[in-house]
Amino acid sequence: MEPIKRICFVALMAMLMVFAVDARAQCPMCKTALKSNINGKKGVVVGNGINKGILFLLSTPYILVGAAGFAWYRYRKNGKNA
């Protein structure tokens, strides 16, 4: 591996480790928000909204990876037929 690639890889891994701490910190915040807003049916509505938001945010990376995989597949398929 070239030195510049190794430096970029190490820097990327370091940044991912630093920002992963912030990502894990959001779960207790959501849990606290849900617990503080449970008042009969209003709590159910808030809980459903947060759950739908989580599913929406979770679906985005899968859609991007799927689209990139499909584009790669089409590129490889067209390259073999030409």
- What is the extent of the structural domain holding 70? 44-82
1 and 31 fall within a common domain: yes
Q: What is the pLDDT of residue 26?
A: 60
Q: What is the pLDDT of residue 79?
A: 78
* CA angle (63, 64, 67) in 5-degree steps: 85
Residue 53 has pLDDT above 70, yes or no: yes
pLDDT > 70 in the chain, percent? 67
54 and 70 fall within a common domain: yes
* pTM recorded for the entire structure: 0.47
31 and 58 fall within a common domain: no
Between 24 and 34, the more confident residue is: 34
Between 39 and 56, the more confident residue is: 56
Question: 37 near 46, Cβ under 8 Å?
Answer: yes
Query: What Å distances lie between residue 2 and 6, 36, 44, CA to CA?
Result: 6, 53, 54
1 and 30 fall within a common domain: yes
Q: What is the pLDDT of residue 16?
A: 79
28 and 10 fall within a common domain: yes
78 and 56 fall within a common domain: yes
Q: How many domains does the chain have?
A: 2
